[in-house]
Amino acid sequence: MQQFALVTTISLSLASGAFAGMDMPVFGGPMKHIAVHLHENMLEAHVDDSVPTPILQNYGQMYGGNASVLNDTMYNAQYGWMVEGLWAPPSGSFLWIEQISATAGLMTYSGGTMMDPGTFDPIFGTAGSSSAIMWGGTMLHNWYAVTAPGTYSATYRIYFGDINGIAIDGYEADEVTLNWTTVPTPGAVAVLGLLGAALRRRRRN
């Protein structure tokens, strides 16, 4: 039986492109952990409130390979699922994360860690994918992306399930909601700046 270990990490700001030359999209800011631990027969998930709400942003960069799914989107990967404490799933079961609701237009792609961006496969209902994923308990930073400005949220259920994702008896699941805001794309910011300058000139004339 695999035992989960407490993961200790240092939050790093990655918004300025710490992985130049690796064709890895930036996370968008310091890691915002979703700590999952087992209390008796109950799973509990807690979002780190010390880190501000992540911002979905278009950095004006284009990526190749699997990361190209983020091209022309506003994206972010600050949220990091992590197991807290020393514990293991019940025998014959696995940890599952299921998206039970989300703002329309929020797309999610399979991620990894700061050094391994993941596969970028669609998950949580994106492009017809399953609403649930099996999670091995290691640090997991998925990629969230949108194409329209606004505020977004998604609610997830964390539970023990069998190999097919069917919840097992005797253990309580937990739910957690993640939130994002957006900022305009670089091109939109430039246009807004020009419009503002034009309005100021009209007021002076």
Residue 158 lies in a domain: yes
For residue range 89-112, list pLDDT tens digits in order. Answer: 999 999 999 999 999 999 999 999
* pLDDT value of position 201: 53
What range defines the domain where residue 46 resides?
Answer: 32-204
* pLDDT value of position 194: 43
Instruction: Check: CB of residue 48 under 8 Å from CB of residue 84.
Output: no
Residue 47 lies in a domain: yes
Domain count, the chain: 1
Strand duo 94-102 + 55-56: pairing: unpaired
Instruction: Check: CB of residue 81 under 8 Å from CB of residue 139.
Output: yes
Residue 90 lies in a domain: yes
Residue 27 lies in a domain: no
Q: What is the dihedral of CA 135, 141, 147, 152, to 10 degrees?
A: 80
Phi (first) and psi of residue 186, to 5 degrees:
-55, -40
For residue range 155-204, list pLDDT tens digits in order. Answer: 999 999 999 999 999 999 999 999 999 997 665 444 334 444 444 555 55
For residue range 112-168, list pLDDT tens digits in order. Answer: 987 899 999 999 999 999 999 999 999 999 999 999 999 999 999 999 999 999 999
d(CA 95, CA 134): 6
Flag whether pLDDT at 26 surpasses 60: yes
DSSP string across 74-125: EEE--EEEEE-SSB-PPTT-EEEEEEEEE-TT-EEEEEE-SS------EETT
Residue 173 lies in a domain: yes
For residue range 36-63, list pLDDT tens digits in order. Answer: 999 999 999 999 999 999 999 999 999 9
* pLDDT value of position 24: 84
Which CATH number fits the domain that encloses residue 108?
A: 2.60.40
Flag whether pLDDT at 8 surpasses 70: no
* pLDDT value of position 203: 55
Per-position b or e across 48-74, b if 16+ CB within 10 A of its CB: beeeeebebbbbeeeeeeebebbeebb
Residue 144 lies in a domain: yes
Residue 115 lies in a domain: yes
Flag whether pLDDT at 23 surpasses 80: no
Residue 80 lies in a domain: yes
